[in-house]
Amino acid sequence: MRRLKNKIRAAIFFGCMIFSLTSIHPNDQVIYMKDGRVITAEIISQTAFKMVIKLPDGSTKEIAKQDIKRVAFKEAKTPEPKDKTPAEPPAPSPEEIAKQEEDSKKQAILDEKAERRKKQIEEAKRNRIDIFLGTGSGTVNFQGANYYDTVVAIGSSLGQDSGKFEYPIEPKPKSGKATSFEVRYSLNRFVGELGASSITSSATQSIIGVDGPSSGTFPKLIHGNYDVSMKHVYGNFSYSVFPHPKYDVRPVIGYHQFWTKTDNSNSLVFGAGVAPLFNDQYFGTDPTSVAEGLKGFSYGIQYDIKFEKFEIRTGLHILQMKGFGTYDRQLNAYAPVSAQTQAETIDVYNKWVAKGAIIDLKFLYPWKYGVSFWMGLNSMSWTYTMSETALSVGNEDSGVDPQSYILGKLLFESLIGPGALKETKATTIQIGATYSYDFNK
């Protein structure tokens, strides 16, 4: 009995000690449970056998003291490691270091290229108008006059008595005057052009042959000088595929129209013998006029490149054109002994299909005040295909001969004409001046 009382007193004393300690630090209790749990809570009340605690979430809980291992009145601290330096990742291998450096260099190169390309596009932006004026010399090798003379000579020889023969000598053109005008407007990647040119050169017509009926042949000569003029107007539109301040590549499409004309008004004819319609020698005039008109579209490429002191501009245009050709020849002959005269006309109208190319090259030297000086070379050429012909042959006595018309049309379109076709060429060398106005300045 006495022992029991002592135990009760010891328990009461132990409880009072705990209660007094917890009351001193009511918010700083850590309860270590025998099952290993650690509870941080405020002890609200306790007895010799139980304890009521308030958890951090505000709820209360009752636990038996026999489950408590011990109570601490200071917050448990996690032991700090002696070495506070954070653990470093493992060092990369030499191969990984080399790959990282290579990737870094590649990325730096790509970034540098992207920045440089962005700068190039910005510097290549344009808002400028250029006006070109040029003059120089040019040559037109026009197939028209010699072509028609050849077909007419062969046709007339076949249609006359045996022994009649004509042979047109192919003319050699002489250089003449050339002029040009062009306006170019550039807006960033787009470039539009309008222009015109004119070339005038000269050539010599010479036709040799013989005249005569079946009984004999006698010499004949047709000779004269004539001018050839070609006029050209065009419009082009191009787009820069890779803008750059130093060079520019642009696909181009365009529209072109050509007018070519010869007028041989001083051609003379001499017959040193007997012609089919004359009884003696004769002479006279044989004026000839040839005209041609072609128009159509083109496609190609333009390339501009700038150096420190000058600029080069080039262009290649492929032509696809259609048009017409006319030929008018009037023979007026006189035989002085017999006082006989003869007048004969040959008129031809035909339609052409032409394919060719234009090559243009300019060297520009910038001066000042927006003025540049330039020198240029231009070459144009095309070939023909005949699509349709109308022919008129007659003289002052009989008019149009239906048989001659049928035969002549057949010769032009099917037999002689296609084989006698030649190429038309035009070449100019010019110098000039350019004025440029930059709207961005």
Q: Is residue 82 pLDDT above 50, yes or no?
A: yes
| pLDDT 10s digits, 338-389 | 777 878 788 888 899 999 999 999 999 999 999 999 999 999 999 999 888 8
CA 368 to chain centre: 29
Per the document, the length of the chain is 441
What DSSP string describes 330-373? EEEEEETTTTEEEEEEEEEEEEEEEEEEEEEEEEEEE-STTEEE
Helices first, then strands: H and E counts in the chain: 5, 20
| pLDDT 10s digits, 264-280 | 888 888 776 555 566 66
Reported as a pLDDT band with limits 50, 70 and 90, residue 190 is: very high
Which residues, at least 6 apart from 367, have a Cβ–Cβ distance to it below 8 Å?
Answer: 373
Reported as a pLDDT band with limits 50, 70 and 90, residue 48 is: confident
User: Which amino acid is present at 36?
Assistant: G
DSSP 272: S
Tell me the sheet residues that pair with 255.
235, 297
- pLDDT of the residue at 24: 40
108 vs 102: CA distance, rounded Å: 10
Extract the tokens encoding 187. 């807006």
439 vs 441: CA distance, rounded Å: 6
335 vs 160: CA distance, rounded Å: 20
Reported as a pLDDT band with limits 50, 70 and 90, residue 412 is: confident
Collapsing DSSP to helix, strand or coil, 271 comes out as: strand
408 vs 153: CA distance, rounded Å: 11
Provide the CB-side half-sphere exposure for 385 (13 A, CA). 8
| pLDDT 10s digits, 288-319 | 999 999 999 999 999 999 988 899 999 999 99
- pLDDT greater at residue 401 or residue 263: 263
| Segments of the chain assigned to CATH 2.40.128.90 | 129-438
Class of domain 27-73: mainly beta
Kindly state the average pLDDT of the residues 414-426. Answer: 85
Query: Positive or negative, the Cα torsion across 105, 106, 110, 116?
Result: positive
- pLDDT greater at residue 416 or residue 287: 287
Count of Cβ atoms closer than 10 Å to residue 140 Cβ: 26
Extract the tokens encoding 74. 């200071």
118 vs 133: CA distance, rounded Å: 35
Count of Cβ atoms closer than 10 Å to residue 219 Cβ: 13
Kindly state the average pLDDT of the residues 185-211. Answer: 91
Phi, then psi, of 124 in degrees rounded to 5: -85, -5
Extract the tokens encoding 182. 């062009």
Indicate the CATH number for domain 129-438.
2.40.128.90
- pLDDT greater at residue 154 or residue 110: 110
Map tokens 């060719």 to a residue.
Answer: 356
Kindly state the average pLDDT of the residues 38-63. Answer: 82
| pLDDT 10s digits, 322-340 | 999 999 988 888 878 777 7
Q: Report if pTM > 0.85.
A: no
